[in-house]
Structure 1
Amino acid sequence: MSTLFNELVFTDSFGALGTEFSTPQPPTPLPEPYLIATSPSSLALCGISPEQAKTSEFIHLFTGNQLPASSQPRAAVYSGHQFGQWAGQLGDGRAILLGELAGLEVQLKGAGATPYSRMGDGRAVLRSSIREFLCSEAMVGLGVPTTRALCITGSPMLVMREQPESTAVVTRIAASFVRFGSFEHWFYRDDVTSLKNLADFVIQRYYSELSGLENPYAALLRKVTKRTAHLMAHWQTVGFMHGVMNTDNMSILGLTLDYGPFGFMEAFNPQHICNHSDNQGRYSYAMQPQIGEWNCYALGQALLPLIGSVDETKAALADFGLEYQSKLAALWQAKLGLTCSMEEDDALISAMLSMMKINQLDFTIFFRRLSDCYLNDASMDDQLRDLCVDRDALDQWLSQYRLRLTKEASVDAVRQQVMRRHNPKFILRNYLAQQAIEAAQRNDFSEIEKLRQILANPFDEQPEHELYAALPPDWGRALSVSCSS
């Protein structure tokens, strides 16, 4: 037995819940697997050395071809609301949990069919695996709560989507992959015993401070609501759009979960829909906070039999708006370099967003260039004015912004330093991901690694990578991503 297989010992806490919560399911091997990319920081979290990650055992393990005896692979069952409609039973249709390493669940996405695959083949394609890997790591760099990506492995085997595509497996890690839909599953089956067992498991493992409370289930809902509200604020202030905020894609830990047709805002449009399959715009940028709250209410309904009171359930959910607005205000404050809050800040931010919409300003570039502006010197304003069609609208807002800075005696050097720590220079633009995908399809994985390194430190200047911070080319602005991606 290899050194890697001897040293990696998986535990199986989730499996201990019982087979009603998950089904034992070995991965289906892929032929001729090869390594595409790894995340050094994720490897370290799992206790895997860079040397071990170069071995054939590593490749076979995280493709699902060969597992250590300690791994008890399984696929979880859950249900959910999809695009606002109850979809019934879902489950891990192409994800298989290997167990836990260093307290983190390790999951193979694309490792073959499970009992919950419905009509799917359980496989993931190369393009979607690259997008999930890169965006998971990009979100870590941005400071947004997220699941992590450990590695991607590939295979020459093809699967049919709109056309034949290469297969891949992305290994992702998180403290837990339990979802809102995991609780909905038991509520809609009227199985209070299983619902309670799941809630007790989640509280014991992830919210142990709630164990001794009079109503720990109401407290759990309150905690998850708060985390979800904060996550929505993070998304809005980095311009991230998830694309498929179904309840089965919402993490009980408040993590960004299940990267599919995501996108980062470029030309600012609050009604922008990043998912080509979202015909009604339910998951547009502007709708995300509202849908986040709606999903918390769906979770509240599922937990109602345990909480025992409609009023207590409503009370636990009532904090969403306040928590969201408070976190949002703090994040906008940091992005604008403000050291305190003032009554006029809401009007300042509202005017800013209106001006950005009028000019269709690139979300990331606008804030990064704003970080270079001075209080009493307009010499850097042209770098913003060059982005605008309606320069008068920008000038009017800059006057309003400078007046606000004056009221707190803002110091340029201090403010600029703070703003550069909160306004990234680099994000995962769709066209950058597409370029990495196209290179990978030619067996060139260097662009994935370059992007991973750049996105790991998105606030650094990295002058050698200036092109990666530029406006997208014309062809890159029209890219469309759907649920099939």
Structure 2
Amino acid sequence: MDNSFASLPPAFYTRLMPTPLPAPYLVGVSALAADMIGLSPQQVADSLDILIGNAVPERSQPLAAVYSGHQFGVWAGQLGDGRAILFGDVATTQGPIELQWKGAGLTPYSRMGDGRAVLRSSIREFLCSEAMHALGIPTSRALSVAGSDQGVVRETIETSAVVVRMAPSFVRFGSFEHWYNRKKTDELKLLADYVIDRFYPALRDAENPYAALLEAVTRRTAHMIAHWQAVGFMHGVMNTDNMSILGLTLDYGPYGFMEAFDANHICNHTDQQGRYSYANQPQVGHWNCYALAQALLPLIGEIEPTQAALDVYQPEFAAKIDELMHAKLGLQQLEAHEETDRALLDDLFAILPGVDFTQFFRRLSGLRAADNSGDDPLRDLFIEREAFDAWAERYRARLQAENSDDQARALAMNQVNPKYVLRNYLAQVAIEKAQNKDFTELERLLSVLQRPYDEQPEHEHYAALPPDWASHLEVSCSS
């Protein structure tokens, strides 16, 4: 174990130890995440005291990082790891991976918080981190969840838990904003050089490495959000302190996957103004890149290369979402059909409100190019079936224009349109069982979510529409 972030000067972090929790118990382990760092699930399980922060690995240098950020579009000042403690990084075949406790106790950056995470939110982060990875979306990972019966106060008294999460780096847009706001150009440069040398070494030879860094991060951010939109994922709190400098989905709180389609859906009950609605995510991603650009401006030196770096966002997002949506529809990207395809997609989203997002795209693979004999599973999702029929005829004509083969198309579409996503009610069922020390549902759900594109007929009920009681579920920033 090493800790490269600890090589930065002390102003970047506070060294501290995690605060122990009594009588820890193991809640869950991701075998795939464990394999990523060269461990078996049993080796992870045998390290319970480390997983919950009651013991520290050899050569670990635990620390909490300082950063700042914009929250809901407003400058929030100094933030930092209020309940996260980085305890080091390990070498893997994919490069160094940092490990971090989330919920391991108070830090100097906890503000009014207690430094703890509750079992409910820890399970949600654990499951979604691994589900997003299985969907092929850039994300931090989750190694484990460990719990303790020690109570913490949220809306009610809940029990404590600690997630061990993993990423090549947890540096955020807000890490740069922190030094810019304090007019600390030396520290700003140290951080930028650290990120370039460790994660973007090819940029060191660029004419302006800092402009090149901004462009690379802007591109990665655009691609990440295009992936979110294509799968119907909503982050819920796209504050700049939750934006990864590596373009990873970071900090799972009040997230949600789109169910009955509503472009203006707000998954975060705290977001009263709808800043982070599904439809707004691409625009907010761009806004966040502007905040990063402002922070990097003292290093870039001039407005023109800064603006040029930002200008890649919209074309990169447009190209990526176009690519992803063509794949979801089983269509080739053909220049001759560019305008037709744009209209076809726009008109689809015009008739989609109220229709389950995941089920629609999954069932679309069964539509036949020659006739409407395969339409019924799709038609059943719509109240206005005539509107669907009209759209389906245009879609069928487009398939025929490229001589689409039904069987090959269905196979390809089912590799990009998941059957299983982490619906809120599925997480809630697993959470309620885990709160009673029954972790079998968590284990089963994790296994299903790690193969989201497979049929898994034995787990068909995990793809079902949410039950009526699920309409009352709400997630907020305390989730």
Q: Name the counterpart of 1:330.
A: 323
What stretches of structure 1 of length at least 5 have no aligned partner? 1-9
2:192 aligned partner: 199
Aligned partner of 1:52: which letter? Q
Equivalent in the alignment of 1:276 = 269
Q: SS at 2:82's partner residue?
A: coil
Q: Does 1:447 align with 2:436?
A: no
Give 2:417's aligned residue. 423
* Pair 1:169-2:162 in alignment: yes
Counterpart for residue 340 of structure 1: 333
Quick one: which amino acid aligns to residue 347 of structure 2? Answer: A
Q: Write the distance in 1 (CA, Å) between the matches of 2:180 and 2:468.
A: 48
Q: Aligned partners of 1:194, 1:46: CA distance in 2, in Å?
A: 31
Pick from 87, 108, 111: which aligns with 2:76?
87
Kept in 1: contact 2:323–2:333 (CA 8 A): no
Determine if the alignment matches structure 1 residue 350 to structure 2 residue 343. no
In structure 2, what is the equivalent of residue 6 of structure 1? none
Q: CA deviation at 1:376?
A: 1.1
Q: Out of 463, 473, 476, which is 2:457 matched to?
A: 463
2:49 maps to amino acid: H
Number of equivalences: 472
- Looking at structure 2, the residues matched to 68 and 398 of structure 1 have their Cα atoms a distance apart, in angstroms, of 58
Equivalent residue number for residue 139 of structure 1: 132
Find the residue that maps to 1:114 and give its secondary structure.
coil
- Structure 1 window deviating more from structure 2 (460-469 vs 342-351): it is 342-351
How far is the alpha carbon of 1:68 from its aligned partner? 2.7
1:245: which partner in 2?
238
Alpha-carbon distance in structure 2 between the residues aligned to 1:59 and 1:298: 40
Letter in 1 for 2:460: E
Q: CA deviation at 1:252?
A: 0.2
1:254 match: secondary structure: coil
- Within the candidate set 50, 58, 69, 2:58 is matched to 69
Match of 1:414 in 2: 408
2:6 equivalent in structure 1: 15
2:24 to 28, 33, 52: 33
Letter in 1 for 2:197: Q
Amino acid at match of 1:335: K
What is the rounded CA distance, in whole Å, between the counterparts of 2:320 and 2:404 in structure 1?
A: 22
Give CA deviations for 1:151-188 in whole Å, capped at 9, x if unaligned. 00000111111111010001100000000000000000
Q: AA paired with 2:79?
A: L
Q: CA deviation at 1:38?
A: 0.4
One-letter amino acid matched to 2:255: F
Distance 1:158 1:129 in 2: 14
Considering only aligned residues, what root-mean-square deviation do their CA atoms show, in Å? 0.7
Q: Tell me, yes or no, if the aligned pair for 2:29 and 2:45 is still in contact at 8 Å.
A: no
Does 118-127 or 63-72 show the bigger shift? 63-72
1:478, CA displacement in angstroms? 2.9
Are residue 364 (structure 1) and residue 358 (structure 2) matched? yes
CA-to-aligned-CA distance 1:356-383 (integer Å, 9 cap, x gap): 02xx110000001111111113222111
Equivalent position amino acid for 2:7 in 1: A
Give matches, 1:39-118, under 5 Å. Answer: 39-55=30-46, 58-102=47-91, 103-118=96-111
Which of 118, 124, 129 aligns to 2:122? It is 129
Residue identity in the other structure for 2:204: S
What amino acid sits opposite 2:77 in the alignment?
Answer: G
Task: Say whether residues 1:259 and 2:247 are aligned partners.
Answer: no
Question: Which 5+ residue runs of structure 2 have no aligned equivalent?
Answer: none
SS in 1 for 2:75: strand
2: distance between equivalents of 1:142 and 1:262? 15
TM-score w.r.t. length of structure 1: 0.97
**2:396 aligned partner:** 402
CA distance in 1, matches of 2:134, 2:142: 13
| Counterparts of 2:235 and 2:287, CA distance in 1 | 15
2: CA distance, partners of 1:196 / 1:347: 46
Contact 2:370 2:400 (C-alpha < 8 Å) held by counterparts: no
CA deviation after TM superposition for structure 1 residue 76, in Å: 0.3
- 1:228-243 correspondence to structure 2 within 5 Å: 228-243=221-236
Match of 1:390 in 2: 384
For 1:29 and 1:224, locate their aligned partners in 2 and report how far apart those are by CA, in whole Å.
37
